[in-house]
Amino acid sequence: MRKQHIGLLYTLPQILWLLVFFAAPLCIIVIYSFLKKGLYGGVEPQFSLEAYTAMANPNIVLVTWRTLKISIIATTLTLLIALPCGYSIARSRNQAIRLFLVIVPFWTNFLIRIYAWIAIMGNEGFLNDILRALHLTTESIQFLYNQTAVILVLVYMYLPYAILPLFSTIDKFDFTLLDAARDLGATKFQSYIHVLLPNIKSGLVTAGLFTFVPIFGAYAVPLLIGGKDSYMLGNIIADQLTKTRNWPLASSISMTVTVLTTGLVFLIAMRKPREQKQVFDVDPAFLQATPDGER
Amino acid sequence: MKGADVDIVGVSKFFGSFQALKNVNLSISKGEFFSLLGPSGCGKTTVLRLIGGFEDPDSGSIAIDGKNVLGLPPDKRHCNTVFQSYALFPHLSVFENVAFPLRIRKMPQELVREKVMHYLSLVQLEMHAPKKPSQLSGGQRQRVAIARALINEPSILLLDEPLSALDAKLRQHMLMELDTIHDKVGITFIYVTHDQQEALSVSDRIAVMNMGEVLQIGTPRQIYENPATEFVARFIGETNVFNLKIVSIDGTKIQGEAEGLGLMFVDDESDARPGETVLATIRPEKIRISTKIPKTNGGQINILHGFVAEPIYSGFQTKYIVQVDSGMFVTVYRQHANWSEGIPDIEWKDEVYLSFSAADMVIVEMHGQ
């Protein structure tokens, strides 16, 4: 009993921190989402489901779908790029240097890196300068302010979060298994699909979550890089909070995003360690019938 | 005869500036149980990886059944490998591990089941089919690896130190099983090991390697009884080596002077001339040890005098390390088969005589020549 009390004491700072900075704000958002909207922002202390019914607004539904679509595309692209990156780092002789290069961008502020992309892709930006210098175009090409640009920058932003968990899983992978697969008749591609991928599934899932969850709540990238066609849920929440001043609606959308993403995480975490595909279908009775004496 | 021949001609292989193989020539016949034996780093595994297609030689050629296989990837060669670490797929059951090559070939499910169960029964693992490799013991994993390597019906099975992860008792047992499997399937086995006992007990022929070179190829008996070089003699079993300065040579009858020991007789072929120095070896079990001067019966018998420096009792025999008059230590094995005959027990510091026949001595090449 005493020991348990001491354990509780050790975790007290953690618990306090989480209560004040996580649980309390979350509760406030939950409560706000069920209250009536105040006239000039804020809330009226009166129960209402208005904020949730208001989400049926076709505009919000559209943006929800778009957010989902952008998140899925960006996550898929990130994983497709991160997988070979992680693999090559894991198999390389100078892992430390390559990992360092992956982490280097973190030293620059998130927003500054977004502005860097604006500087590269803007109408008077680096890319257009080069194209003009090569006489490939006379007019500036509009690279920014569309979905493609948003996806590109999102992929860029979250690539390290996918490369790192993939690297650490692939680094533990026994590469002789690939030799074995080749030896048993698999082509190089087949050996990756049938042997490498199933054995690094946990790394893929982690990398996927690390990219999908933050991208689903993206705000700054679509705001600065995107245009009308790339408004995401994060932007709507901010608008409701600061422009339209509908705090309950901002809260209810936030709740939806939170529930959806935590739901996804739970689904994956709680999933039973899935049995491998049951291609094996020898009748147990058949096994039992084999007399023991024969072996 | 099933299986395939392997012809390796003038193969060299570099890893960076390190030469792993130096002009290796091997000719392995169909159905043979062929061992590559040598200390770690001697290049034996490299030879196996070259045959398997995991590496390409820098020069020389490799042919399987007379067909050049250089440039063919592993999945296009009719050989399969049992890896040192077994390399079983951890995400698949025993059944699916063995079925893997068939799944790749998209064989119908019925046939897959039949074949997999057949090969699992060959290694006596039918009952373990649904288990994951992590649930098996070392010996069982080993057998899964063998079944998986055999299911494609390769003409050559490459075994890379397959028993090194097992304990001594199990190793003996698996060795016998390997031999049985070889007899059943009849294909060519190429077996890499650093354990001379393993190689001697199952191989049809052995190639002894050291530092990227093949030193001798022969049957276990040839390798043991007639080692070509000092390295082979010392690596396979134990041996005693004497430096002999040749006094006279008449056919195979050689007389040589060993420093501090006087004249010694050797009956072996040698093209050395009088005045030259050769290495003559004698195996410890071919030396008799006694406390009295043995009778020579006028034959060509060498007799050395010395004192027991260390007796090592190991049940079925005692190993004596005897310091002879020249100061050199000679190893002698004395079997306990006739212990009851009342031969006086020989102990530490006893004065003893060692006798051995000239015919049992073998002249070997000096190491490094």
Please give the domain boundaries of chain A with CATH numbers for all domains. Answer: 34-269 (1.10.3720.10)
- Asked which of A37-41, B120-124, B137-141 is least confident by mean pLDDT, the reply is A37-41
The pLDDT confidence band at residue A272, using thresholds 50, 70 and 90, is low
Put simply, the chain A residues between 215 and 254 with a CB less than 8 A from any chain B CB are none
* Fold that domain B238-364 belongs to in CATH: OB fold (Dihydrolipoamide Acetyltransferase, E2P) (2.40.50)
Would you call B100 and A279 a contact, using CB atoms and an 8 Å cutoff?
no
What pLDDT, on the 0 to 100 scale, is given for residue A111? 93
Please list every residue in chain A whose beta carbon sits closer than 8 Å to the beta carbon of residue B99: 279-280
Give the class (CATH, top level) of B6-234: alpha beta
Q: CB contact, 8 Å: A172 with chain B?
A: no
Partnered with residue B244 across adjacent β-strands are: B258, B278
Please list every residue in chain A whose beta carbon sits closer than 8 Å to the beta carbon of residue B54: 179, 182-183
Per-residue pLDDT tens digits for B320-341: 999 999 999 999 998 887 655 5
Q: Tell me which residue has tokens 């090592």.
A: B312
Per-residue pLDDT tens digits for A252-264: 999 989 998 899 8
What pLDDT, on the 0 to 100 scale, is given for residue B344? 67
Per-residue pLDDT tens digits for B29-82: 999 999 999 999 899 999 999 999 999 999 999 999 999 999 999 999 999 999
Per-residue pLDDT tens digits for A83-99: 999 999 999 999 999 99
Would you call A280 and B100 a contact, using CB atoms and an 8 Å cutoff?
no
Percent of chain A with pLDDT over 70: 91
Percent of chain A with pLDDT over 90: 64
Rounded to whole angstroms, the Cα distance separating A207 from A211 reads 6
Rounded to whole angstroms, the Cα distance separating B111 from B102 reads 9
**Mean pLDDT, residues B239-246 taken together:** 93
Would you call B92 and A290 a contact, using CB atoms and an 8 Å cutoff?
no
The pLDDT confidence band at residue A137, using thresholds 50, 70 and 90, is confident
Does pLDDT of A71 surpass 90? yes
Does pLDDT of A274 surpass 90? no
Q: CB contact, 8 Å: A184 with chain B?
A: yes
Does pLDDT of A289 surpass 80? no
Closest Cα partner for A183 from B232, B159, B115? Answer: B159
- The whole-chain average pLDDT of chain B stands at 91
What are the structural domain ranges in chain B? 6-234, 238-364
Residues B191 and B203 sit within 8 Å (Cβ to Cβ): yes
Q: How far is C-alpha B105 from the chain's CA centre? A: 36
**Mean pLDDT, residues A250-275 taken together:** 83
Per-residue pLDDT tens digits for B190-213: 999 999 999 999 999 999 999 999
Please state, as a whole number, how many other Cβ atoms lie within 10 Å of the Cβ of residue A102.
Answer: 18
The pLDDT confidence band at residue B1, using thresholds 50, 70 and 90, is low
Q: Tell me which residue has tokens 């500054």.
A: A112
Q: Would you put residue A244 in left (φ > 0), alpha (ψ -120 to 50) or beta?
A: alpha
Per-residue pLDDT tens digits for B292-301: 888 877 668 9
ipTM value = 0.84
Backbone φ and ψ of A73, nearest 5°: -60, -45
Rounded to whole angstroms, the Cα distance separating A218 from B337 reads 85
Would you call A195 and B89 a contact, using CB atoms and an 8 Å cutoff?
yes
**Mean pLDDT, residues B69-98 taken together:** 94
